[in-house]
Amino acid sequence: MSGAGLPPRAPSWTAETLALFGKEWRCELRTRTALSTIGLFAFTTLVTVSLTLGPIGATEEMRPAAPVLLWLILLFAAAAGLPRSFVQEEEAGTADTLRLVARPSCLFCGKALYNFTVLLLLEALVTPLFFGILRVPVADPLGFAAALVAGGIGLAVGSTLIAAMVAQARVRGPLFAVLAFPILLPLLKLAVDASLAAASGAGAGAALELAWLYDAMLTIAALMLFPLVWHP
Amino acid sequence: MSNALRWFLWLWIAGVTVAGLLAAPLAQGFAGRAGDAPESSRIVYFHVPLAVTSFVAFLAAAVWSALYLWTRRPRHDDAAHAGVEVGLVFCVLATVTGGVWAEVQWGAFWNWDPRQTSIALAILFYGGYLSLRGAVEDPDTRARLAGVYAVLGFVVAPFLFFIMPRTVGTSLHPEPGGARMDASILWIVLAGIAGQTALFFWLQSLRRRILSLRRTDLRFGA
């Protein structure tokens, strides 16, 4: 029996989330708007830093500034590209369809996962380039990678929730930075501290643990609040 | 608020001010950089109550926002909006009085002490809350998004106010309850907190009534 006549079974939570995640990537690969915006923004900022400050990793005094600059590049690149995910839905008129067919938690997780993978890709491209050009030595690469992942999760989750809010506002571009930065700055401080400790070989330690804790708090809050943002 | 209560509030605040400036003994250990400004410790009767009241204000705004999201009654949104506006004034005053005291005690208006960082982020956050309200035209959407943002702020706030100051960096501020002070000083500080908190709720209720009247006027096209 083929099961004809029976109503189609609703997909599982995981399948729905992965389907939305796949949709995000398919849409992005058609236009490449977010990837090109984020990539070019990060590259331009990296060139500007290198051109103006030179190989700061070569001098002992300037070395602690390197993780700060790296995280600033990542934060502003994320702010330039990640809000697009929800704005595009509102502009194309697909937001209402998504409201009808997708569970809010699946939509949020699908979008946040997409934003996280974009950020991971950005970090994987920018970080080696950054350390190569600025000649910054990293004593504990694994600890540094953990700091990048912890910071990336918080950036993705926070950006996804704020992007959903901003997409319903009149002024979108500047508003994202105004709303997202106070939420993301504590995480940025922790990520910088963890990166700095890992780069100097002191171990990412307490700052990294707190960054994971912040990620968990932000994710739980975002999952609870997103349905209120999404459904009028 | 009745006339009698209003007069009582003004007399209370005036009493705390007079007691703090004239009657209270000088706090030990707050003698200024060069030991030449012991009177500077009297700012504690304004700075601490302002900081505590701004925290109460933002907590109340988060509760009103949660109530709005629960009931969708516009008066709760008006209350949250008014609470943030008035609370932000208290927060800025707490920052300014803290900066003045920090200059005398620690030698600089701003030191990026964990508590100073927290209050700076709170100002940025609630400034963002007001920007969000200004950027959304539809009143229901505006109230809903602002409510979510205010609640989000109070999910993040415990981390900012209680966890980060104790774990990242060393604070120049004493721990709450950790500063040893004369009983009379403590009582005047507590009386100041009670007075400032009552003042906040009075100002907030006035502002809420103005916002409610404005919303009703807009609805009926007056």
Indicate the helix (H) or strand (E) that contains B116: helix B114-135
Q: Hey, are the CB atoms on B164 and A228 less than 8 Å from each other?
A: no
If you search the block for the tokens 């398919």, which residue do you land on?
A26
Q: Hey, are the CB atoms on A181 and B124 less than 8 Å from each other?
A: yes
Q: Does A190 touch chain B (CB under 8 A)?
A: yes
**Model-level pTM?**
0.86
Q: How far apart are CA A97 and CA B209, in angstroms?
A: 39
Asked if residue A63 lies in contact with residue A103, where contact means CB atoms within 8 angstroms, the answer is: no
For residue B84, pLDDT beyond 50: yes
Q: Hey, are the CB atoms on B128 and A179 less than 8 Å from each other?
A: yes
Query: Picking from A4-13, A26-35, B12-21, which range would have the lowest pLDDT averaged per residue?
Result: A4-13
Q: What percent of chain A has pLDDT over 70?
A: 95
Determine the pLDDT at residue A33: 80
Q: How far apart are CA B38 and CA A6, in angstroms?
A: 83
The letter for the amino acid at B60 is A
Collapsing DSSP states into helix, strand and coil, what is residue A37?
A: helix
Residues in chain B closer than 8 A to A165 (CB atoms): 132, 145, 148-149
The stretch B56-63 carries a mean pLDDT of: 94
Look up residue A91 and give its two tokens: 């502009």
| Closest CA–CA distance from residue B194 to any residue of chain A (Å) | 29
Collapsing DSSP states into helix, strand and coil, what is residue A209?
A: helix
Exposure on the CB side of residue A12, measured as CA atoms within 13 A? 3
Instruction: Measure Cα distances from B7 to B1, B4, B13, B193 in Å.
Output: 10, 5, 10, 18
How high is the ipTM of this complex? Answer: 0.85
Q: How far apart are CA B114 and CA B168, in angstroms?
A: 8
Determine the pLDDT at residue A1: 46
Determine the pLDDT at residue B36: 59
Residues A162-208: pLDDT tens digits? Answer: 999 998 887 777 888 899 998 998 889 889 989 988 888 776 678 89
Name the residue in chain A with its Cα closest to that of B140: A232
Determine the pLDDT at residue A124: 92
Asked if residue A97 lies in contact with residue A107, where contact means CB atoms within 8 angstroms, the answer is: no
| Closest CA–CA distance from residue B71 to any residue of chain A (Å) | 12
Instruction: Give the Cβ contact number of residue A133 at 10 Å.
Output: 17
For residue B30, pLDDT beyond 80: no
Burial class (CB in 10 A: 0-12, 13-18, 19+), A51: exposed
The stretch B171-197 carries a mean pLDDT of: 76
Residues A149-160: pLDDT tens digits? Answer: 999 999 999 999
Nearest-by-Cβ selection for B124 from A165, A182, A206: A182
The stretch B165-180 carries a mean pLDDT of: 62
Q: How far apart are CA B50 and CA B197, in angstroms?
A: 8
For residue B143, pLDDT beyond 50: yes
The stretch B146-159 carries a mean pLDDT of: 86
Q: Does B115 touch chain A (CB under 8 A)?
A: no
Indicate the helix (H) or strand (E) that contains B97: helix B74-106
Residues A61-105: pLDDT tens digits? Answer: 788 888 899 999 999 888 888 777 888 888 888 888 888 888 999
Indicate the helix (H) or strand (E) that contains B60: helix B44-71
Q: How far apart are CA B52 and CA B164, in angstroms?
A: 18
Using 50, 70 and 90 to split pLDDT, how confident is the model at B115? confident
Q: Hey, are the CB atoms on A179 and B149 less than 8 Å from each other?
A: yes
